Structure 1
Amino acid sequence: MMILSIIATVVLLGALFYHRVSLFLSSLILLAWTAALGVAGLWSIWLLVPLAIILVPFNLTPMRKSMISAPVFRGFRKVMPPMSRTEKEAIDAGTTWWEGDLFQGKPDWKKLHNYPQPQLTAEEQAFLDGPVEEACRMANDFQITHELADLPPELWAYLKEHRFFAMIIKKEYGGL
């Protein structure tokens, strides 16, 4: 019966998370569930005390900020690299599309699926089928990673000759 009550508790937590029930209401439901299991004799009623001690700091914003958020943020700041100029510019631009929804944890899958599938131009497809395919045939992964630790000179020359490094440059400036 104990294992069943643990599984039911995990399912309850999953349902609360899935339905995005507020932290306060989730805490009350979890305390009530624990009390019910205690009254039923499946769990000790004394589990309410440590559970309440754990849940109180999460539910009181000033306590959560000082006891949980600030130390976690300091820890992340130590291990995370500083923000690059490009990242800063992207954040300052303030425009996101579907990835913004994704990182907020509420992706709109219909929006993604309704977006038309991008099509390559004939020129882009020809580049993939021709020079890119040939470059892939010329590349020997074992030789590149274990023997040379670099691309072979003939592959570098091929990439330069077919202007692979000009892909991000606009056509009017000599790019692809």
Structure 2
Amino acid sequence: MKNISPLLVLALLSTTVISSPACAACLDPKTLVSGYRVPLESEIRSSQAIVIGKLIKTSPLQEDHDDPDGVTAHLHTIRVVRQLKGHLPAVVTVREENDSSRYTMRSGEKHLFFFTKSGSTFRIDSCGNSWQLPQGADVLKQVEAQLRSKSMHSNNSFKSKPLPSAS
């Protein structure tokens, strides 16, 4: 066992982490250390929309038949329950690739979502601050406080917009 190359061990470990569908490899952009999380204030600034939404439907896409599971991505249909930043329709579709960088969720769950636009579709950063609720209630409170503070100090409209509830 002493003759195993450290590079071989590193290669095997990184292959396991990167190819595992259960976790995202969130590397710090400066240090490349795993476990990175986008700073909350930065994600609030850069997100086109921040909402509380409920996942109402997930549809697998089978575009690449070479994929071992046959699923290359999922289309998630999310009903916007409350808009905190930005203006979105009542229902949004998000494409998530079936890889280690996807944000995992299940039908019926409510989440705090930070959306960025990628072409004509929205994206969720798995290394960001999106959270399933109520577990992410503390993050939601911080977001609301920061958005209130920003709206008091600028002319930007970051007001929370409740939508008609259809639980």
Q: Please confirm whether the aligned pair reaches a TM-score higher than 0.5, indicating the same fold.
A: no
Name the structure, 1 or 2, with higher relative contact order (CA <8 Å, separation 6+).
Answer: 2
With the shorter chain as reference, the TM-score category is: under 0.3
